[in-house]
């Protein structure tokens, strides 16, 4: 089978949810099912796909792709910051140290694109950045900037915040913010360097950070095409000069499809996502994985849930 055929064949087997009470108390996020038992977490990255803060569908192999790519980046950035990873007993599972998370998403941006461009175009400045007038879409900033937001419950929208608001609201102390923001920017710089070596532009990303026994750790995921933007570097200059969209290997492909083809940006009835759109986006994720890691991804069509349970039992987690 071709790659596209394998992805279509996997559609009936996608992992939408899990139910393993023996793993501990369950919290269900947009993408991850997180089980807590004491100081241990078991994070299962499902195949759920969210956009504009709503879970819309599933993608074949998405959980495996994201979890394994996050592990790649956790290893590549371990010299920059500590992370929560203990083990990876299954392609879509991370066993992790429980952290006390900050109630903030640390979004780092190097280019004026995505939601920030849409705000800028409307004259809105929710992060109090005071960007100069006359900037073009996909312009590169002189240096990366932080645009924090709240972490809203599933189905509700994250709220953009200015840096001053984070401290003013008491969400973090100034000292905590200074430490966490420095780590986020250092991680982003490392991601930029390594992506550039693989022919990609690391455009923006979000980090979740928390404390484990008083030490700052990176938690959740990092540098995946679900939480980050990647552009093909060799095409950036020509596309920017022509005012054309960049060649993207990330979830922004779906956001643009939803806006342009369904008129959906988070409000109103949830649109259905055709199978060819699901498969096409997975192909973008797959291309990102293989270009970033320099390795191929094994597309083994079959029952994810059965494999997952087998591996959890083998690891004596069930």
For residue 155, what pLDDT is reported? 56
Q: Is the pTM of this model over 0.85?
A: yes
- CATH number of 1-318: 3.40.50.2000, 3.90.78.10, 3.40.630.30, 3.30.470.20? 3.30.470.20
Q: What share of the chain is helix, strand, coil (3-state, %, to 5)?
A: 35, 25, 35
For residue 158, what pLDDT is reported? 77
Report, as ranges of residue numbers, the positions in the chain whose pLDDT lies below 50. none
- Sequence-distant (≥ 6) Cβ neighbours of residue 314 within 8 angstroms: 89
Neighbours of 133 (CB within 10 A): 6
For residue 156, what pLDDT is reported? 60
Q: Please state, in angstroms and rounded to a whole number, the distance separating the CA atoms of residues 190 and 89.
A: 27
- Sequence-distant (≥ 6) Cβ neighbours of residue 155 within 8 angstroms: 53, 54
Q: Are strands 82-83 and 215-219 parallel, antiparallel or unpaired?
A: parallel
Q: What are phi and psi of 302, to 5 degrees?
A: 160, -170
For residue 74, what pLDDT is reported? 98
């Amino acid at each position: 089978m071709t790659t596209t055929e394998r992805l279509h064949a996997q559609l009936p087997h996608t992992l939408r949810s899990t139910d393993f009470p023996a793993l501990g108390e369950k919290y269900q996020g947009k993408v991850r099912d997180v089980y807590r038992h004491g100081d241990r977490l078991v994070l299962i990255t499902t195949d759920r796909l969210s956009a504009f803060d709503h879970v819309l569908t599933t993608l074949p192999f998405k959980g495996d792709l994201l979890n394994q790519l996050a592990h790649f980046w956790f290893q590549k950035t371990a010299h920059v910051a500590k992370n929560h990873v203990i083990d990876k007993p299954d392609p879509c599972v991370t066993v992790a140290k429980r952290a006390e998370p900050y109630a903030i998403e640390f979004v780092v941006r190097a280019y004026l694109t995505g939601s920030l461009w849409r705000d800028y175009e409307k004259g809105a400045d929710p992060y109090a950045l005071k960007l100069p007038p006359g900037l073009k879409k996909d312009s590169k900033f002189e240096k990366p900037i932080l645009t924090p937001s709240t972490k809203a419950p599933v189905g509700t929208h994250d709220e953009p915040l200015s840096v001053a608001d984070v401290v003013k609201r008491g969400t973090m102390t100034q000292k905590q913010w200074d430490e966490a923001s420095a780590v986020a920017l250092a991680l982003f710089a490392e991601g930029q360097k390594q992506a550039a070596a693989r022919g990609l532009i690391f455009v923006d990303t979000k980090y979740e950070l928390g404390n484990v026994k008083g030490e700052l750790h990176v938690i959740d995921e990092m540098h995946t095409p679900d939480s980050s933007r990647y552009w093909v570097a060799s095409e950036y200059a020509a596309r920017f000069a022509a005012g054309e969209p960049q060649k993207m290997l990330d979830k922004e492909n779906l956001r643009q499809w939803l806006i342009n083809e369904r008129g959906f940006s988070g409000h109103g009835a949830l649109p259905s996502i055709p199978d060819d759109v699901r498969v096409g986006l997975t192909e973008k994720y797959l291309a990102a994985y293989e270009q970033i890691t320099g390795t191929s991804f094994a597309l083994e069509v079959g029952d994810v849930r059965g494999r997952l349970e087998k591996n959890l039992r083998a690891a004596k987690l069930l």
